[in-house]
Amino acid sequence: MTEAKIRTEEMLLNMGPQHPSTHGVFRVVVRTDGELVLESESHIGYLHRCFEKCAEGNNYLQVVPYTDRMDYLCAMMNNWGYAVAVEKLAGIEVPERAEYIRVMVAELNRVASHLLAFGTYGLDIGAITPFLYAFRDRERILKIFEKLCGQRLNYSYVRIGGVTFDMTEEILADIEAFCDYFDPKIIDEYDNLLSYNGIFISRTANVGVMPADLAISYGVTGPSLRGSGVQRDLRRDAPYGIYDRLEFDVPVGTGEMGQLGDCWDRYMVRMREMRQSIRLVRQVLRDIPEGPFCDKKAYRAVKPKAGETYKRVEGARGEVGFYIVSDGTNIPYRVKARAPSFSNISILDKLTSLSDVMVADLVAIIGSLDIVLGEVDR
Amino acid sequence: MSELENRNPDPLTKNVVFLTAVDDIINATRANSVWPLTFGLACCAIEMMATGAAKYDIDRFGSGPFRGTPRQSDLMIVAGTVTHKMAPRVKRLYDQMPEPKYVIAMGGCVIRGGPYVKHGYHVVKGVDLLVPVDVYIPGCPPRPEALLEGLFKVQKLMKREKILDRTRRTTKPEVYHAVYPGLILRNAEDGIWANHWGSQGEAARGVGGGGHRWRGPVCGRQGRGVGRRGRALPR
Amino acid sequence: MVVKAEAWAAVAGLCRDDSRLGFDLLSCITGVDYPEREDGAEIEVIYNLDSIANHHELTVKVKLPRDDPRIASVEEIWRTADWHERETYDLLGVVFEGHHNLVRILCAEDWVGHPLRKDYEPPDSFHGIKNVIY
Ligand code: SF4
């Protein structure tokens, strides 16, 4: 029988919302021909928790815990983004020490978030061990955060006007110990374990190639955009906090294992970013000043004048933006959150139609975009 | 074998032949090999993953292989927020699980809507409106230790299962009281005092978790609306 | 910058293509509902644009009548507008003309009403699931 006589049929396959490798409740409907994905259509909204409506019903301070729950893997950056926006609206000065503490916790949180991305990406590809390694080290960071604010996940630590609790000497020592433990020994271990693993490279290199102009048009930001070789980092391009005083590099994708902008590049940007984050934390540890940790008045209540503002910070997944409209009361009139994962995942349908993608590659692409569904749906 | 007692009265064969009730042996095997369904919905799912990973290691307690399909699992840990869009799927997944099945509601959201109880138009205010729940674990998110404690409660329930008697499913809910005193849990290993309601600021403002006080995992078949068998329970 | 609704499509094209403007990243689309304005109830749609090459930002505001908010879609200009517009339609009921697939994205498909309008009342029950308020 020649090949031409074999009749193949297209099939409509439903992945999710309950699927182990979609990182939550994300649903993709794929039209497949055998193993090949011809077309895909993403459906979101299975975790729509009405953040914006909740924000309209609570006062400015009470909104902070809701921002945690948007992107629960890097809650500090969400808190920060919201705090920056409100501070600009209300004209609140943040004490110097608070700015340093913010950078420190945000960068540690970025490491924790990238560690989880690393671990679960291994799981998606079929490597179970990295997951256990990643959690081992993530627990160390969580332990520090727990000492700091009593929570393991949704910290609400960065608040309007500063931070909630002061940093103690003991915690600073813990953080220093963690930095020494983690960089470079452990990251090198990860690179040996997964990054330069032959099977891993063949699963991810040249898969899901994302050209830079397309990525920008789809609003992709953060490590996923940098994986395509675009030098874009809000910490450097539009510095907030004290980032303009600190030294760090912005790693971008190089295309060393295949084409520029493939899954491996996106993955590797995260691994390199972790080193930069540790570098930032070390600098902050070196020059953290003494002083108050929060603006006294803003600690109790915030009441900005009428007006509106849009502020963004660089989260672990991209640009976290908040558009806040105030009508002069202590309850925000409208809070709109720009969630990076929301834009990042919208490119998925395009990526599957660009090239021949297998079903297993689809999982690799979703994993490399590193989405958090709480943020996609808000 | 410690939880099985040898019911063999004959002194001659006492140590050679082991007699026990079928119930006991089935329950012991069932309770010591719980296969949970990976049902991570939101933030709580991360804590569920942490429970399965290196430090907390749920495998030590006779549970662990998180299954991707409901057909192979006997425990559903609903971790995260159930929304109206997701609700039919939750129900269907529950229906697909083989009997006997157990449900843990993990986190404030699945208990009564958590922080979203007031303004969350799209949030289902408690998963027990959809499926009957065996054990409730409050917290936002609950610590991995709390989830482990909840698992022990489920194992206790499993050990009381009778293969001939399925009517116990409609009996009165039972409530186990706290193992942990008050609101504070001491994490023995770290020496850290942690607040179960999240950060202190949250607790004070009362958005931590749908108005529940921490009593340890609460246990009992408290299906609201639907009974264990899909019948309506008397209110 | 406030733009008239009719002019928005042309302005958007200019914003992206003019080399001095070069706004290649559409960061965010926000809709705000103002039911009680002096000059009639309005919905504002706010576009936050950003230029990666030139490092500058722009906020564009378009005011629409509240009872019939219609505006041209910019989906062809910035692909990311696709989902952002669907979201704004879902939550505020702004109709984007020319959008290829303007359906609800976050709420369930058969949801009634647009939740972020100020006069929105959540339903008592949805598909038989009660919306209990404690
Ligand atoms: S209970 Fe809290 S941590 Fe758990 S899913 Fe709900 S908001 Fe997230």
CA A254 to the chain's CA centroid = 21
Q: How far is CA A300 from the centre of its chain?
A: 30
- Mean pLDDT for all residues in chain A: 85
Non-local (6+) Cβ contacts of C115 within 8 A are A50, A53, B121, B122, C91, C107, C122
- The predicted pLDDT at position B172 comes to 34
pLDDT of C5-15, one tens digit each?
777 888 888 88
Give B109's pLDDT tier (boundaries 50, 70, 90): confident
Q: Give one DSSP letter per residue of B166-208, joined into a string.
A: -GGGGSPP-----SS-TTEEEETTTTEEEETTSSHHHHHHT-S
CA proximity to A207, closest of A81, A351, A54 = A351
Q: Which residue of B has its CA nearest to C106?
A: B85
Predicted TM-score (pTM) of this structure: 0.84
- For chain C, how many structural domains are there in total? 1
- Beta-carbon contacts of A199 under 8 Å, excluding residues fewer than 6 positions away, are none
Chain B residues inside the 8 Å CB shell of A19: 68
- Per DSSP, the residues of C13-57 read HHHHHSTTT---EEEEEEEEEES--TTS-EEEEEEEEEETTTTEE
Q: What percent of chain B has pLDDT over 90?
A: 0
Whose structure tokens read 């064969």?
A: B13
Q: Which domain holds residue C22?
A: 2-130
Q: Which residues of A touch C80 (CB under 8 A)?
A: 217-219, 343, 346
Distance C26 CA to ligand 1 centre (A): 31
Number of H helices, E strands in chain A: 17, 9
- A37-57 core/surface letters (b: 16 or more CB in 10 A; e: else): beebebbbbbbbbbbbbbbbe
Tell me which of A319-323, B133-137, B168-172 is least confident.
Answer: B168-172
Put simply, the answer to whether A50 touches B123 (Cβ < 8 Å) is: yes
Using an 8 Å Cβ cutoff, are B142 and B109 in contact? no
Q: What is the value of ipTM here, to two decimals?
A: 0.89
Residues B149-167: tens digit of each pLDDT: 888 888 888 887 777 765 5
CATH at C117: 3.30.460.80
> Maximum Cα–Cα distance for chain B, whole Å?
70
Using a CB–CB cut-off of 8 Å, the residues of A that contact C are: 44-45, 48, 50, 52-53, 56, 213-214, 216-219, 221, 230, 232, 237-238, 310, 312, 319, 321, 323, 325, 333-334, 336, 338, 342-343, 346-347, 350, 377-378
Are B88 and C127 a contacting pair at CB < 8 A?
yes
Q: How far apart are CA A148 and CA A150, in angstroms?
A: 6
With a cut of 80, say whether residue B181 has pLDDT above it: no
Do A4 and A354 meet the contact criterion of CB atoms below 8 Å apart? no
Percent of chain A with pLDDT over 70: 98
Q: What is the pLDDT of residue C134?
A: 63
pLDDT of residue B2: 57
Q: Chain C residue closest to A233 (CA)? A: C52
Nearest C-alpha neighbor of C25 from the set A310, A219, A212: A219
Which residue segments constitute the domains of chain A, with CATH numbers given? 3-377 (1.10.645.10)
